[in-house]
Amino acid sequence: MKIVAIVPAAGQGLRLGESIPKAFVRVGSRTMLELSVRALLDSGVVDQVVVSVPAELVDEAAALVPDATVVTGGAERADSVRAGVEKAPDASYYLVHDAARALTPPSLIRRVVDELHAGQQAVVPALPVADTVKTVNAQGDVTDTLDRSQLRAIQTPQGFEADLLRKAYEPTQLGDKTTDDAGLVEKIGGTVRTIDGDPMAFKVTTQMDLRIARALVSE
Ligand code: CTP
Ligand code: MG
């Protein structure tokens, strides 16, 4: 029952706006890449970690996370995940976990794996949405107000039976710009179970998020 964690870390971090790719930005003394890999290994339930990084940073990543397997990522997040999946074809289960969720607690990783062991084929952490969510048209006029009680914000790690994720990532999906692995599984008819997410698994996307992450680490 081999559990392989794929860590997409090949993004440029355009919204963060630092001079280096986001996963290589430090939160406290460690890079987000190191923190994410460490949490996965500390969970005690992951057998192998595969990280997807920009081509020019493969050597640097290998030095930062010597316990992980490093592969070259792609132009879209889906390409980076696919590269990781192909590097570990012998997995029974995959966890896909954004490097940018640097403060994710090992306890959340264990809870995702617990659900896989209990027989779920796909598992995602989910949090209630605090803000009201509306849809708008091109001019910015509101077209609908969604029922918040039915909405969830989805985090990672997302856990999958290996065959199901491989099928979701088959070449027919190439060029897919999805940023959500479970979304691909939904498209091929898979059942995706939510579990309670963890606020600490928030994604560092903007400078505000980075300030929050650094403040939390220095606490
Ligand atoms: N990612 C990746 N390969 C890509 C794009 C994204 O591996 N081609 C990874 C990022 O490194 C990150 C995770 O997917 O760990 C979530 O993506 P996001 O937060 O959007 O990061 P970036 O794409 O780097 O940021 P931005 O969209 O602001 O440029
Ligand atoms: Mg992105």
**Domain with 103 in it: what CATH number?**
3.90.550.10
pLDDT computed for residue 173 by the predictor: 55
pLDDT computed for residue 51 by the predictor: 98
Centre of ligand 2 from the C-alpha of residue 21, in Å:
11
pLDDT computed for residue 179 by the predictor: 87
Q: Nearest 5°: CA angle at 198, between 195 and 202? A: 120
Residue 70 in domain: yes
CA 131 to mean position of chain CA atoms: 23
Residue 140 in domain: no
Ligand positioned closest to the Cα atom of 100: 1
Ligand 1, residue 14: give the atom nearest the CA: 29
Q: What is the mean pLDDT of the chain?
A: 96
pLDDT band at 167 (very low <50, low <70, confident <90, very high): very high
Q: Is pLDDT above 60 for 199? A: yes
Number of domains in the chain: 1
Ligand 1, from 98, 156, 204: best to mutate by most atoms within 8 Å of Cβ? Answer: 98
Buried b (16+ CB within 10 A) or exposed e, 156-178: bbbbbbbebbbbbbeeeeeebee
Q: Is pLDDT above 80 for 175? A: no
Instruction: Determine the structural domain holding residue 210 and report its residue range.
Output: 3-122+156-194+201-218
Structure tokens at 118: 């209990």
Ligand 1, from 6, 12, 50: best to mutate by most atoms within 8 Å of Cβ? Answer: 12
Residue 142 in domain: no
| Of 189, 190, 128, residue with least CA distance to 159 | 190
Q: Is pLDDT above 60 for 214? A: yes
> Which burial class, exposed, middle or buried, applies to 212 when counting CB atoms under 10 A from its CB (0-12, 13-18, 19+)?
middle
pLDDT band at 80 (very low <50, low <70, confident <90, very high): very high
Residue 74 in domain: yes
pTM of the model: 0.97
Residue 139 in domain: no
Q: What is the mean pLDDT of residues 91-116?
A: 98
Residues 41-64 pLDDT 10s: 999 999 999 999 999 999 999 999
12 - beta bridge partners? none
Residue 143 in domain: no
Residue 129 in domain: no
